[in-house]
Each structure stands twice: as C-alpha cells, then as structure tokens.
A = this chain, B = another copy of it.
C-alpha cells in the first residue's frame, strides 16, 4: 500500500501511526510485522514520542546543529544536509504485529521525516507474515 504525505515545511516530522494501524486492519494481519518504507533520499522514517510535540522539535533542532542546512557540501542541488539526515534516520522501520495489533510502546508514534520539503511524498507499507 502507498500512503501519500504532503509536507508543508523544509523540515518536519509528520505522524503516520493511524495510517499504519488502518493498513494492518485492512490486510487482516494477525501475526507478523509491518515494514514502513520511504522511497526518497532526502526523507526518512523514525519512531519516537508522540505525547509532547516538544520532543520532535528538539530532535530536529539538535540534528540541525550537527548537520546544518548550509555547510561545505559539494552536491550542487544544495540539499546534502537532507541526504545525510536521511541516512542517519534510515529509510525503513519494522513494527511487530500480534493479535491484529501493532506492538508500539505506550509513547511511540511512527513519523515520516521530511528533510527537504515542502514536497509531495510517498510511504510504502508491506505486511510480512
């Protein structure tokens, strides 16, 4: 299945947990895992706290201090920082499923990580049994 994500900022985490839960229900997946895959090279996916939005803000702020938007990069498109972040966060997450339910921890949400927006993005989902 493909989820469409419309980002509105240069860098932004957008929660997609509900879409992944719906996918598990639609697939009738009882026991196995879901792979959430991002087919982009300037975006990623991560799992982190969805209680206090300050957490996601702090993650982006800290990562931008380490890997600034403007630096001594050679890639002419000017978005090397986003490629670097994509590799550090990773292009997929695997979440377990038992008794038809995603086995996320109490505070865990699944976030699409935009590093070079705003753009129209895609996320691929697949059930492994």
User: Which A residues fall within an 8 A CB radius of B?
Assistant: 32-33, 35, 37-41, 46-49, 52, 54-55, 57-59, 61-63, 66-67, 71-77, 80-81, 83-84, 86-96, 98, 103-108, 124, 126, 128-129
Contacts and interface: CB of A to CB of B under 8 A. Distances in A.
Number of copies: 3
Given A90-B90, A96-B126, A124-B96, A58 B35 contact: no
Given A54-B75, A76-B54, A62 B84 contact: yes
Contacts of A106: 39
A47 B41 contact: yes
5 contacts: A41-B49, A41-B55, A49-B83, A54-B80, A98-B126
Contacts of A94: 35, 37, 92, 94
Contacts of A59: 80, 83-84, 87
Contacts of A74: 54, 57-58
